[in-house]
């Protein structure tokens, strides 16, 4: 039985008219047919040429006939299943329902008192993964979670080590990364555990796919694992400053990647990932936390859900501009994730990361878990039926001194209606003072320690040995390549 | 399962009819009503502990209190007929003052007190001073617990204390006060013996007032 996720019980937010969507769609097809997309891969270029595309091998530019693009979009399944190590954590990814919440990384951890970043240890990585595995509203993760820098680990081994840690301690689905051939090890490890992973296939905007991304997609397609096709323009830098133009260019990149995937393996499960940010015009960095992200993602989600029928991953929801979990952090993350969910996003990339993808802390993942629960409760909507209308009860209780608290209807229904957070402070003022004036962060610190202490590791020893062997093999491989 | 187990489970299931029926069965079959009170106390302790540890909630507390209050009068009547004495830590008269209809805080305190083994006589909300005096006299109360949520009704607490003085009962009962509008300063001003800011705090205060281990 897969993870239920949250079932949106009302029409999603739609901010584009049919005409606007069609304009953007026609624009993307025009870019694909006339501007073309650069693919840094000889075998990909040959595959495109064989299937009717115009290929300029010298400039590695591919121009796509609209018919092929639309055919390949139609081949993408509207929903598909991902098998996790624990079957209760399997996912049914769909263009519509349910909505799941995803973890995203930080390069480094932070000191929870000073918020200074530092490189984490492998043990800290394992513990952070254990916390994620235990959080009820965390359903999956991307590929370098939670940390992309680990003490004592050579750069080439960072992704394989991160993957290995999740294979051991994360019983929910996750993505395998595309950098430095890390998929070689991720796919093998997934096959040892007989689980599904999904491959990263992320473009290099504008309008370019590099070799490592193509190889990663190719390997996953051959292995039969779904692929997450992702766009990541910084608008005003690597994409147009206008959001509509950004959608045209980003969707064109996405469609070209999807054509490759569907030519390699027709009908392969495909996720549409949006990692687009407006550019911060002061610093040049991606504009984390901006409301423009939500505008872009709302339009993106509407097109990929309603027009193209693919499950979506709203990657840009999570990374914030704030460096610590303060009021700015709360506003930025809650707004982006709520709008993303209301727009009908299949996967909301929300949990654990702080500033950009540069810092992460398990305390933040516990806070975000409560936020995810709140959003999820909203998605489930208002239920109107004979029981919830409570007409007989209202009649029976009547005016004052009538009171609903002691009624069995209250006991049976309040849990279904209200969301009760784990760590957000909900005490009365005097109780809060008496309890030591603890903040949500204080409560989250305690919960992190509880989750780590209570984690039950259930991976069979023979599988652990195999995973360790594959990691060793990776070390030899990169050593031979001169990367270690 | 014995009828005492039935009574205990009735309280834990918040089933007033079953609780009353079990209590009546205890009386009809000539069984010990004091054992019935013990069963209720065990059930209330279970529910009270669940509330304190966060596994049970207000509706559960009030539901259990409702079921126990359906059974207790039946058992207490039988105890009186037999000339027995119920084993409680003390008798507490509890109510919300005149003009104030708020009951949640009072009910929470009442439920936790019963869970700890006190005998609680809840005189309800919007209770005039005269009723409090009458209840203190009739029940031979050890403690009078007054609740008010509003700043406009809080002064009624002072009137209750004055009424007890006039009735010559002030020295026979300890008075604790609590509620959203109440502070330690207010409690001192009106001459109350103690102030509880939380429901568990009120239980602790009740024990201290009667020199019981906390």
State yes or no: ipTM above 0.95: no
Q: State whether the Cα torsion A424-A429-A434-A438 is positive or negative.
A: positive
Q: Where does the pLDDT of residue A109 fall: very low under 50, low under 70, confident under 90, or very high at 90 and above?
A: very high
Phi, psi angle pair for A13, to nearest 5°: -70, 130
CA distance B93 to B173: 10
Q: Which of B62, B125, B201 sits opposite A405 (nearest CB)?
A: B62
Query: Does A408 lie at the interface with B, CB-CB under 8 angstroms?
Result: yes
CA distance B78 to B76: 5
For residue A351, the cross-strand partners are: A103
CATH of the domain at B141: 3.40.50.280
Both structure tokens of A433: 């003072």
Cross-chain residue pair B66–A406, CB shorter than 8 Å: yes
Q: What does the pLDDT read at residue B65?
A: 83
Residue A383 has pLDDT above 90, yes or no: yes
CA distance B118 to B212: 11
Cross-chain residue pair B201–A408, CB shorter than 8 Å: no
Question: Residue A372: helix, strand or coil by DSSP?
Answer: helix
Residues B70 and B99 in one domain: no
Query: Does A403 lie at the interface with B, CB-CB under 8 angstroms?
Result: yes
Instruction: State the smallest CA–CA distance between residue A163 and chain B in angstroms.
Output: 36
Q: Cis peptide leading into A401, omega within 30 of 0?
A: yes
Query: Does B104 lie at the interface with A, CB-CB under 8 angstroms?
Result: yes
Phi, psi angle pair for B192, to nearest 5°: -75, 160
More confident: B92 or B180 = B92
Closest by alpha carbon to A284, among A329, A320, A237? Answer: A237
Domain hosting B111: range is 91-209
Question: Residue A184: helix, strand or coil by DSSP?
Answer: helix
CA distance A135 to A362: 10
Q: What does the pLDDT read at residue A430?
A: 82
Q: Which of B14, B101, B197 sits opposite A401 (nearest CB)?
A: B101
Phi, psi angle pair for A298, to nearest 5°: -65, -45
Residues B56 and B106 in one domain: no
Look over chain A and give the mean of its residue pLDDT values, rounded to a whole number: 96
Both structure tokens of A52: 């009717």
Q: How far is CA B127 from CA A175, B95, B100, in A?
A: 64, 7, 8
Query: Does A401 lie at the interface with B, CB-CB under 8 angstroms?
Result: yes
Query: Does B60 lie at the interface with A, CB-CB under 8 angstroms?
Result: yes
Query: Does A429 lie at the interface with B, CB-CB under 8 angstroms?
Result: no
Q: What does the pLDDT read at residue B71?
A: 93
Residue A189: partners with Cβ closer than 8 Å, 6 or more residues away: A163, A164, A167, A466, A467, A470
Cross-chain residue pair B59–A434, CB shorter than 8 Å: no
Both structure tokens of B79: 């105890």
Cross-chain residue pair B198–A410, CB shorter than 8 Å: no
CA distance A297 to A191: 34
Give domain status of residue B113, yes or no. Answer: yes
Question: Residue A210: helix, strand or coil by DSSP?
Answer: coil
CA distance A135 to A137: 6
Residue of A nearest to B200 (CA): A431
Instruction: State the smallest CA–CA distance between residue B143 and chain A in angstroms.
Output: 23
Give domain status of residue B106, yes or no. Answer: yes
Contact status, residue A213 vs residue A254, Cβ threshold 8 Å: no
For residue B69, the chain A residues in CB contact (below 8 A) are none
CA distance A308 to B61: 52
Query: Does B161 lie at the interface with A, CB-CB under 8 angstroms?
Result: no
Question: Residue A37: helix, strand or coil by DSSP?
Answer: strand
Q: Domains (ranges, CATH) in chain A?
A: 1-381+419-484 (3.20.20.480), 386-417 (no CATH)
Q: What does the pLDDT read at residue B51?
A: 85
Cross-chain residue pair A430–B197, CB shorter than 8 Å: yes
Cross-chain residue pair A405–B201, CB shorter than 8 Å: no
Domain boundary among B82, B112, B135: B82
Q: Where does the pLDDT of residue B108 fall: very low under 50, low under 70, confident under 90, or very high at 90 and above?
A: confident
Residue among A396, A402, A404, A405 with most chain B CBs within 10 A, to mutate: A405
Cross-chain residue pair B57–A408, CB shorter than 8 Å: no
Residue of B nearest to A404 (CA): B59
Q: What does the pLDDT read at residue B198?
A: 83
Residue B214 has pLDDT above 90, yes or no: no
Residue of A nearest to B104 (CA): A405
Residue among B59, B109, B182 with most chain A CBs within 10 A, to mutate: B59
Give domain status of residue B34, yes or no. Answer: yes
Both structure tokens of A161: 């080590």
> Helices marked H in B120-183 — which ranges?
129-139, 155-166
pLDDT digit string, tens, across residues A118-134 = 999 999 999 999 999 99
Query: Does B62 lie at the interface with A, CB-CB under 8 angstroms?
Result: yes
pLDDT digit string, tens, across residues A192-228 = 999 999 999 999 999 999 999 999 999 999 999 999 9
Instruction: State the smallest CA–CA distance between residue B75 and chain A in angstroms.
Output: 22
How many residue pairs from chains A and B have C-beta atoms closer than 8 A?
32
Give domain status of residue B214, yes or no. Answer: no
Residues B74 and B99 in one domain: no
Both structure tokens of A345: 């996003």
Residues B96 and B191 in one domain: yes
Residues B199 and B99 in one domain: yes
Residue B199, H or E segment: helix B199-209
**How many folded domains does chain B comprise?**
2
Look over chain B and give the mean of its residue pLDDT values, rounded to a whole number: 91
Domain boundary among B17, B48, B82: B82
Residues B111 and B191 in one domain: yes
Both structure tokens of B34: 């004091």
Residues B74 and B96 in one domain: no
Instruction: State the smallest CA–CA distance between residue A405 and chain B in angstroms.
Output: 6
Residue A452 has pLDDT above 80, yes or no: yes
Domain boundary among B82, B112, B128: B82
CA distance B109 to B206: 10
CB atoms closer than 10 angstroms to residue A243: 22
pLDDT digit string, tens, across residues B33-42 = 999 998 998 8
| DSSP structure class, residue A456 | -
Q: How far is CA A245 from CA A21, A296, A304, in A?
A: 12, 10, 16
pLDDT digit string, tens, across residues A147-180 = 999 999 999 999 999 999 999 999 999 999 988 8
CA distance A443 to A280: 34
Instruction: State the smallest CA–CA distance between residue B50 and chain A in angstroms.
Output: 15
Cross-chain residue pair A406–B63, CB shorter than 8 Å: yes
CA distance B50 to B38: 18
Residue among A400, A403, A404, A406 with most chain B CBs within 10 A, to mutate: A406
Q: What does the pLDDT read at residue B114?
A: 80
Cross-chain residue pair B125–A414, CB shorter than 8 Å: no
- 3-state secondary structure string across A293-349: HHHHHHHHHHHHHHHCCCCEEEHHHCCECCCCCCHHHHHHHHHHHHHHHHCCCCEEE
Q: What does the pLDDT read at residue A203?
A: 96
Residue B85 has pLDDT above 80, yes or no: no
Phi, psi angle pair for B63, to nearest 5°: -65, -45
CATH of the domain at B77: 1.10.1240.10
Instruction: State the smallest CA–CA distance between residue A424 and chain B in angstroms.
Output: 14
Query: Does B94 lie at the interface with A, CB-CB under 8 angstroms?
Result: no
Closest by alpha carbon to A473, among A160, A48, A73? Answer: A160
Closest by alpha carbon to A247, among A224, A283, A276? Answer: A276
Residues B62 and B100 in one domain: no
Closest by alpha carbon to A328, among A367, A292, A289? Answer: A289
Residues B78 and B112 in one domain: no
Both structure tokens of A55: 């290929």
Residue A400 has pLDDT above 80, yes or no: no
Q: Spell out the long-range contacts of A327-333 with Cβ–Cβ below 8 A and sequence spacing 24 or more.
A: A328/A289, A329/A354, A332/A288, A332/A289, A333/A289, A333/A368, A333/A371
Cross-chain residue pair A434–B65, CB shorter than 8 Å: no
Q: Where does the pLDDT of residue A406 fall: very low under 50, low under 70, confident under 90, or very high at 90 and above?
A: confident
Residues B75 and B177 in one domain: no
> Helices marked H in A194-290 — which ranges?
211-223, 243-264
| DSSP structure class, residue A112 | T
Q: Which of B60, B101, B107 sits opposite A411 (nearest CB)?
A: B60
Residue in the structure block whose two tokens are 């995203």: A104
Residues B100 and B167 in one domain: yes
CA distance A253 to A233: 10
For residue A313, the cross-strand partners are: A273, A347
Instruction: State the smallest CA–CA distance between residue A127 and chain B in angstroms.
Output: 26
For residue B124, the chain A residues in CB contact (below 8 A) are 401
Give domain status of residue B41, yes or no. Answer: yes
Percent of chain A at pLDDT above 90?
94
**What predicted TM-score, i.e. pTM, was given to this entire model?**
0.89
Residues B48 and B149 in one domain: no
Residue in the structure block whose two tokens are 């026609």: A26
Q: Which of B101, B104, B197 sits opposite A400 (nearest CB)?
A: B101
Both structure tokens of A159: 């992704």
Give domain status of residue B167, yes or no. Answer: yes
CA B56 to chain centre: 19
Q: How far is CA A23 from CA A27, A30, A69, A296, B196, in A?
A: 6, 10, 16, 15, 67
Residue in the structure block whose two tokens are 């005039």: B128
Stretch A254-268: mean pLDDT, rounded? 98
Q: What does the pLDDT read at residue A364?
A: 96
């Amino acid at each position: 039985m897969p993870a239920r996720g949250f079932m949106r019980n009302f029409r999603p937010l739609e901010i584009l008219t049919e005409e606007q969507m069609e304009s953007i769609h026609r624009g993307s097809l025009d870019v694909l047919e006339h501007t073309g997309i650069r693919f840094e891969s000889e075998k990909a270029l040959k595959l495109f040429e064989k299937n009717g595309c115009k290929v300029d091998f010298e400039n590695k530019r591919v121009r796509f006939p609209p018919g092929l693009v639309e055919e390949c979009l139609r081949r993408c399944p509207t929903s598909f299943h991902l098998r996790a190590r624990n079957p209760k954590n399997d996912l049914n990814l769909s263009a519509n329902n349910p909505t799941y919440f995803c973890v995203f990384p930080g390069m480094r951890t932070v000191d929870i008192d000073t918020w200074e970043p530092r490189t984490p240890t492998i043990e800290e990585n394992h513990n952070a993964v254990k916390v994620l595995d235990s959080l009820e509203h965390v359903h999956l993760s991307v590929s370098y979670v939670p940390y992309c820098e680990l003490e004592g680990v050579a750069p080439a081994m960072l992704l394989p080590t991160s993957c290995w840690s999740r294979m051991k301690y994360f019983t929910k689905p996750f993505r395998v990364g595309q950098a430095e051939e890390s998929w070689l090890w991720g796919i093998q490890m997934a096959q040892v555990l007989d689980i599904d992973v999904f491959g990263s296939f992320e473009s290099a905007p504008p309008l370019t796919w590099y070799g490592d991304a193509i190889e990663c997609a190719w390997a996953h397609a051959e292995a039969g694992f779904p692929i997450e096709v992702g766009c990541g323009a910084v608008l005003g830098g690597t994409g147009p400053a206008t959001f509509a133009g950004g959608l045209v260019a980003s969707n064109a990149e996405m469609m070209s990647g999807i054509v490759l995937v569907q030519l390699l393996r027709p009908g392969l499960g495909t996720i549409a990932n949006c990692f687009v940010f407006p550019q911060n015009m002061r610093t040049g960095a991606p504009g984390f936390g901006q409301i423009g992200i939500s505008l872009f993602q709302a339009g993106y989600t509407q097109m990929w859900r309603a027009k193209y029928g693919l499950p979506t991953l709203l990657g840009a929801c999570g990374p914030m501009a704030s460096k610590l979990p303060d009021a700015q952090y709360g506003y930025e993350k809650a707004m982006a994730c709520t709008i993303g969910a209301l727009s009908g996003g299949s996967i909301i990339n929300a949990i654990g990361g702080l500033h950009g993808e540069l810092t992460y802390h398990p305390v933040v993942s516990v806070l975000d878990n409560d936020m995810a629960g709140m959003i999820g409760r909203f998605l489930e909507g208002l239920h109107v039926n004979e029981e919830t209308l409570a007409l007989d009860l209202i009649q029976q209780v009547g005016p004052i001194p009538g009171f609903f608290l002691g009624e069995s209807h209250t006991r049976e229904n309040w849990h279904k209606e209200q969301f009760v957070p784990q760590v957000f402070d909900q005490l009365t003022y005097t109780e809060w003072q008496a309890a030591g004036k603890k903040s949500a962060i204080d409560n989250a610190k305690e919960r992190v320690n509880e989750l780590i202490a209570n984690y039950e590791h259930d991976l069979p020893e023979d599988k652990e040995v195999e995973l360790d062997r594959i990691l060793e093999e990776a070390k030899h491989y990169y050593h031979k390549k001169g990367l270690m | 399962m014995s009828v005492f187990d039935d009574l205990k489970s009735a309280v834990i299931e918040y089933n007033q009819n079953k609780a009353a029926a079990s209590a009546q069965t205890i009386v009809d079959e000539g069984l010990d009503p004091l054992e019935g009170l013990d069963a209720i106390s065990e059930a209330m302790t279970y529910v009270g502990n669940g509330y304190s540890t966060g596994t049970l909630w207000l509706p559960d507390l009030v539901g259990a209190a409702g079921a126990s209050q359906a059974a207790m009068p039946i058992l207490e009547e039988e105890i009186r007929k037999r000339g027995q004495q119920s084993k409680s830590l003390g008798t507490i008269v509890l109510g919300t003052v005149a003009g104030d209809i708020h009951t949640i805080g009072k009910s929470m305190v009442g439920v936790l007190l019963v869970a700890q083994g006190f005998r609680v006589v809840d005189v309800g909300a919007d209770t005039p001073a005269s009723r409090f005096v009458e209840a203190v006299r009739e029940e031979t109360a050890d403690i009078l617990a007054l609740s008010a949520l509003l700043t406009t009704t809080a002064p009624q607490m002072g009137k209750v204390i004055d009424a007890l003085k006039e009735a010559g009962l002030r020295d026979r009962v300890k008075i604790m006060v609590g509620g959203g509008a109440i502070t330690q300063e207010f409690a001192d001003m009106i001459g109350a013996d103690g102030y509880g800011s939380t429901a568990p705090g009120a239980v602790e205060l009740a024990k201290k007032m009667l020199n019981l281990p906390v």
